Every structure is written in structure tokens, then in C-alpha cells.
Structure 1
Amino acid sequence: MTPTVPRTRRRAAHLALLLAALFLVVSGLAPAAPAFAEPNEGSSKTLAQLRENLEVAAKGYLEAEAALETAKASQKALAAELITAESELERLRVFVGQYAAEAYKTGKLGVVSLMISGSQPGSLLSKASAMDRMTQRDEARMADFRTRKQEVTAKKAAIDIQLKLQQDALKEIEKRKKAADQALRAVDGRSSSGYINPNSPLAKPAPRNANGSWPSEGCSIKDPTTSGCITPRTLWAMNQAKANGFGRYVSCHRSGGGGEHPKGRACDFASATGGFTNSSASGGDRTYGNNLASFFIKNASRLGVMYVIWFCKIWINGGWKNYSSAGSNCGDNPAGDHTNHVHVSIL
């Protein structure tokens, strides 16, 4: 038989629980709710100009990088085709040499003599027919030789064009690097070392145009983290992070302020399980942020990552720089210094 608790005792127990909860609230000991509010990274004319300059520099860098990758791939394909064409051309060149030697030795009279030297009736007609077939064959081979020769010349010229495109892309990449360096000088953006995990997982590449360039995208998709919108590529990058084990709180679109948030091309990834806490990450939270930043850096060319900001440093155009936009010692302003969240901007 199941024992029963008198009604008066049950009421007393409930009242005790209510009083205990009230005491926790009044005394400030109540469990803190997750801090999911957007991080206030600060705003100023200097910061707004910095964000604009970084966007231009990083965007140009990624576009030049894509052009370089495309040119290298085209050059490689053309080089393989050139090897095949030159091999076929060499085979035909042997035939042309033999043909030229025979024509020089026999001449037209030699061919006619060969045709009329038969003793059997009808041999003249059969030999004339045979010579006609041989002539057609030889003419076809000569035409093929000329076509292959033109093809080899065209492929060599195409390879030269791809090499020129690569040189132009490399110059543009260097130009964008210098532009980013100049922009970061306003916030003491000296070169720095930063944590990168070489064992970070590979993301599935975001869709590109047929020629390898990045498609232009607008803020056209409902942001699953806010009531705003994001671009398809930003959603792809966020989902790739989640698919690879980075499932803590994320906030992307932001209606106010500068940078890429209002454009739906940036996300803030909280390092703490409780969201954007007003304290710098440490221990496992710091490791989580390190690994998340490494993931986006390793997959920058796959996901179209313009730059990553984490723990008073910014990774842009292939290298780490100091980043202290809050104008304080690192960690004094966890949101502005990005010591409580990883910021990722997407092309």
C-alpha cells in the first residue's frame, strides 16, 4: 500500500519551497539566466571607418584569391591539354616529313609512271582509284597537322594569359594586404601570432559561380538566430560550424551599428555555454573559442571568410594582427575586445 502524506503537511512543504525561492531572489542568489543578449562591441567614428576599410580590403583579397585559384586551375588544365596536343602534333610531323620526302623523290611523273606500269587490264583505273584514296588520306592528315599546330599555338597563348592573370591577382592580393595593415594601424594592428589548430575539420565549400568567383548575395534569408536576415553564404558558414561541433549560442543580424551585421554577413559566436557573458573566456570556454576561430581560418577560402576577431586579435588576409577597438587593456571590455565571443565576417 502506497503511503499518503497528510494534506496539511503537503501544503507546508509547498509553502517552504516558495519561501526558499523568494529568499534566493531577494538575496541575489537566484540562478542567473543565460546571457543571450547581443554583445555591445562599441561604436565610434574610428571603429566605423575601421570596419569599412577592413571590409573593402578583405573583400578585394578574397576576390583576388578566387581569381588566382581559377587561373591556376585553368593553367593546369591547359598544360595537360597542351601535352596531348603536342604529342599528336609530333606524330603528324613524322608523317609530314615522310610525305615530303616521297613527294620530292617521285614527283608527279613518278606517280603517273607508277599508275601506268601495271600489265593487267584495268590496272590503270584501279591504280588511279588507289592513288585518289591515298591523296585524300594524305590531305586529311595534312589538314589535321595544320589544325593541331594551330591548337598548340593557341593553348600556349592561353597559358600565357592565365600566367598574366595570376601575376595580376598576386599584385592585388599584396595591395589588399597593405590596405588592411594601414587600416589596422588606427587600433595598434601590429603583426601578431595567434592560435591555429592544424587539426580543425574541413567544411563543405560554399557554392561558387561556374568560373570560381563568389556570387553576389544580399540579405535574403531569414536569420535563424534573430528576427533579421542574413545572406545564403553566412547561413552556410554558420551551419558548417554547427555541423562540426560548434553548437553554442550564435547571434548574426543586428539592425544598428556598422560593419557586416546589419548586412547579414557577420555572426557572433559565444564562447561560454551561457551566451555572451560579461567576462573573458577561460578554461574550456577559451579552448572552444580557439578551436572555433581556427575552424573558420582553416576554411576561409571554402566559406568566404573575410576576417575573424577573437581575444584582442584579428585574422585577416592570411595573418594575425592585434585588435583592441575598445581602447583598453585586453579583456577590460569583453565584448569590444572579443574575449567572450568569436566574430566572423563573410564575403
Structure 2
Amino acid sequence: MAVASLAGVRRGPRWKKLVALAAAVTVVLVPVPAAAKPKPTVKQLKKELAALQKESDKLITDYYDSRIALQKVEKTENAARARLRDAQEVFDREAVNLRLMGVTQYMTGEPNLLNMFGGPGAPEAMLSRVAIARQMIDLQNARIAGFAQVRDEFKKAQEELAAREEDLRDTVADLDKRKDKAVKLIDRMRDKIEQLYDVPGARRDGTFVPQLPAGEDNITPRMRLVKQLVQERFEVPFGIGCYRSIRDGGEHPLGRACDFMLSRAGAMPSAKEIARGYKISEWVVKNAKRLGIMYVIYRQRIWHVRTGSWRTMTDRGGTTANHYDHPHISVY
């Protein structure tokens, strides 16, 4: 009887209401995806910048004080080095004199005063010879004592220099730590400042509206912003090449690409410039979604925003063609 009643409910309007209610409850229980974090407002960014500026001023002051301390330690270390150099000269000279005295004594034998001063003679002559011999012995003793003093001063100068060099190493290490901390904070400030720039043609969903090239440089506003930010952050001493009229299937003729040169005339860049190229590439990749970057090419490797990873490219047969002398940046 109970089973029959349940079957009736399933076929009746009450069952339909229960099904509808369960469906509604199910919909409510489904978790809603978290909304994307909104872009900070200009007011928020400026507030964060003010706090960072305060912290930066303190770090820069500490760095300045550390540099002054380093200069003082270097001055003390240089003075200690000069004293050691002077002591070394005196030490070497006295060592030579002492060796000469030893050689003379060895060649003439133990002081035989009668032989040294012409053999036996009148008592007056003997007394004279003894007096001269005593003077020589006293001179010898004084020279030995002087040498010991010089030796001790030399050792003291060595110890002082070692202590000053240790102080110098510690101060340099402390200065490097302070500098690294200040540089990292400055980079954070630079990131905040760059966020104040509105990327031209960016949509809320992260897509980018196509743009036409404009201006005398024939590049898009989006490419121009990326070029400006890279140049301000990293400097590019060998120039930046963007628009090219040659239709090679790339982004240059469309005003959507720039080459940030690291050398001239196709020469292989220095180690310093190669490192600069890596820093530019890493920063651009890090900010790709914000700036509308499509892909980056550097040192025969390409990074595309679709894959989010680097892959090796085929050999195009040259330093410039393989992008060993510049990072290439293309935007949407």
C-alpha cells in the first residue's frame, strides 16, 4: 500500500514540485567562481606608493650611512697597508744588515781582540783596542735590539692590516645587503607606478582591441607604451627598432613589434648586454597579460602567451636572425 502511494506521488503534481525544489536547492549549492580581483584604483596605487616611498627613503638613508662607513674603513685599511709597507722596508733593511754582521763574524771567527787589532802591544794600546771592541759589541747588541723592535712593529702592522681587511669585508657585505634590499623596494615602486598607466585598448576580460599604427614612428599605442616602459626601466643603449615596411609576415610592418638591440652591426653582445636581454624578456613575460604581449623572441627561443612557455626555434643562420643580439617583443 505504501509502495502504491509513492508511485502515485511520482506521477502526480506533488512529485513535480519536489523535483523543482530539489533542482533549486542544487543550483544554490553549486559554488560560484570567485570574481577576478579588480584592478587597483589610482587612489589605492598612490597610497601604496606613498608608503613605499617612506620605506624607500629610510633604506636609502641606511645605504648612504653604510657607504660613508665603508669609505672610513677603506681609509683606515689604506693607512694600515701603508704602515705595513714602511715596516716591511725597515724590516728587510735591518735583516740584511744583521745577516752581513753574521757573515763578518763567521769569516773572522769569534772576536779575538788581540788578532783583530794587530796582536800584543803596550797596555795602553790594549786598552784602546778593548774599548773599540766594546763599542762594536755594544753596536752589535743595539742593532740586534733594534731589529727585534722593527720585527715586532712589522708583526703589529700585519695584524692591524688583517683586522682592517676583515672590517672592510664585513662592511662591504653589509653594504651589499642594504643595496639589494633598496633595489628590490625600488622595483616594487616601479611596478606600482607602471600600473598607473592604462594599457590602450585593453578590455575588462583581458582581451585586447586591435589597433592601427600612428605617429611618426608608425607603431600602435600599445606597442609605444611597452617600448616606453622597457626603455625607462632597463635602458637600451644600442637603440630600438620597430616599424619596418618589408612584408615578411611578422608584426613589424603592422607597428606591433620592436627589437631592443644589445649590440651594433650584428656583433655578439657582451655578457652584460646578454644579461640585460634576459631581464627585459623576463619582465615582459611577467607582465604579458597586463600589457597585451603576444610573444617574445630572444636567443633563438620564443615565448607565446597562448602556451605560456619557451621553445627553441629553428636556426635562421645569423646572430641577428636568431635574435642573439636583441629581444623581439610583439603585442596584440
| Pairwise TM-score range, normalised by the shorter structure | 0.3 to 0.5
Whose helix proportion is higher, 1 or 2?
2
Q: TM-score, normalised by structure 1?
A: 0.38
Larger Rg: 2
Larger RCO: Structure 1 or Structure 2 (Cα < 8 Å, ≥ 6 residues apart)? Answer: 1
